Amino acid sequence: MKNLKKLLTAAIVTGAVSISANAGETTQIQSYAHPTLFGSQAQVYASTNANYVVGGEVKTTKKIAVVGKENVLVDSFANGLLDVIKANCGDTDWNPKMPVLRSELAVILSETFASDRKTVKKPEYKDITNSYWAKKWIDTALDTNLMIGYPDGKFRPDQPVTKAEVFATIAQIVNVDTSKIKSVTFKNQEIQYIPLWAVKATKEVIGSELLAQTPDSKKVIEDEYLSKQQVAYLISALRKELACSDKLSKDPNAPTAVKNYTPTVLSMKLNSRVSAKHSNVNELFTAKTTKDVVIGGECFPVGSTVTGRIVEVQRPGVHHPGYVKVKFEKIKNGKIKAEFPNTVSQATVENCKNPNFIARIFGAPFSTAGRVVGVVGRSGGTAVNIAGNRLEEVGDDASDLFVETLTAHPGSGIKSTGNGVLAVGKGIYDIVKTGVSGTFGIVNEVTDELVYLILPCKSNNAALNPNEEIFVIF
């Protein structure tokens, strides 16, 4: 990492030369290198030629799958970052597909690596007022050297961050060997809009393999800017890799906040099975920790109780395996309690085993009976509701028949009779349809239980079992 004084001098000189050379082009504006301490060139770009196309589908989700259990879901850390920005920025037209701004990058970096830090010094920039929505995050980012301001005393919070600047930010954090990376390519295509000063940083990002976890690779390659959504997922992937993988090492000159970053890793085993087949929304489940864990400064020893909740359930069907979404809420040991964050960086299951055959034999009659009774009850309730509605309609039509006929309007009376007959026919059709649907539902439930009994692996991807160890990284 270069000396700050030299960097600022080089940036100012390079920027001055660039502006002088383009004095006649009023659309040119200066963008000081990047928001980190990386590089030595000021960047000049034509605002009218900035390449960012808004729109197109970005296939992301608010949920991420538990590793080893593709149909067990948890809320993603990346989405949590976006929620923080959206909730605080005050922009009713806020769009996660638009280019990320410097203020938003400050939120993402601060929440990722310094969320619990209290700033010691408050670097003041004349364009950051006390009422500015992201001031506390910007102060944290500046105080921890995750970002820097501009030489003219401004932070420029509403300025978009270029793709090259984002890559430089990541390169400041990780240490990747780029000796074997000959070009700035991703998925066999050259990454566009990478100036000379950012080539090495871009190679580090390529070597980190983080780009593979970023949505919409085509826009990563072709656009000058990354979207808010892409940056949130990119930094979330970086956090996850630093927390649970030895593939990436921290840069020797990385900010202290990054060097001191240690994730909260929760290891536990459930006390009961959670699955898309049997679990219900808002149902609580518990687990016991298998390793000591420190949360909020409190040490929770092995055997502490973790409480979770079922948030969403989609039952397995003929054409889909179903899924169950879970949330880990709190941990308790005696009178000591702590709550977990809403989102996690990663959840992993090891020793993925199914309950043994004897356990499945004993459990199957109860779950099968319960599910069949559920189908019968719902079908019966629907049939009763249909019958009640149709009888009410027939009663109204019979009343109209007598009233209209006795008041010398026999035509209307005949019409009411026809409506009554039609109501009876529709009622019979709907009840038969419900009965057929319920019959197929019972067959499907029984078949599903038999499959689980004989080939439980077919439903294991949508379940967590008591004998599996779960690792959750917050």
> pLDDT of 437-466, one tens digit each?
778 767 766 766 676 666 655 556 778 877
Considering 26-35, 72-81, 174-183, the range whose residues carry the highest mean pLDDT is 174-183
User: Is the CB of residue 167 less than 8 Å from the CB of residue 178?
Assistant: no
Position with higher pLDDT, 335 vs 417: 335
Name the amino acid, one letter, at 436.
V
For residue 471, pLDDT over 70 is answered with yes
Q: CA-CA distance, 246 to 330, in Å (whole number)?
A: 28
pLDDT confidence tier of residue 243, bands split at 50, 70 and 90: confident
- Of 140, 81, 87, 145, whose CA–CA distance to 114 is shortest? 140
Q: What is the pLDDT of residue 37?
A: 37
Considering 42-56, 232-246, 454-468, the range whose residues carry the highest mean pLDDT is 232-246
End-to-end Cα, the chain, rounded Å: 30
Within 276-433, strands assigned E span 284-289, 293-295, 298-300, 305-314, 323-333, 336-339, 346-350
Q: CA-CA distance, 390 to 235, in Å (whole number)?
A: 58
Q: What is the pLDDT of residue 342?
A: 64
Q: What is the pLDDT of residue 390?
A: 79
Residue 2 makes CB contacts below 8 A (sequence gap 6+) with 37, 39, 40
> pLDDT of 157-182, one tens digit each?
999 999 999 999 999 999 999 999 99
Mean pLDDT calculated for residue range 382-401: 79
- Give the CA distances from residue 360 to residues 69, 86, 368, 444, in Å, rounded to whole numbers and listed in that order: 20, 46, 11, 18
Q: What is the pLDDT of residue 428?
A: 87
Considering 181-185, 214-218, 409-413, the range whose residues carry the highest mean pLDDT is 181-185
Share the mean pLDDT of the chain.
76
| CA pseudo-torsion sign 21, 22, 23, 28 | negative
For residue 429, pLDDT over 90 is answered with no
Backbone phi, then psi, for 169, in 5-degree steps? -60, -45
> pLDDT of 95-133, one tens digit each?
999 999 999 999 999 999 987 777 666 667 889 998 999
- Of 144, 87, 154, whose CA–CA distance to 116 is shortest? 144
Q: What is the pLDDT of residue 75?
A: 76
Q: CA-CA distance, 80 to 65, in Å (whole number)?
A: 15
Does the model's pTM come out above 0.85?
A: no
- Of 55, 40, 150, whose CA–CA distance to 99 is shortest? 55
- Of 335, 344, 345, whose CA–CA distance to 305 is shortest? 335
Position with higher pLDDT, 473 vs 127: 127
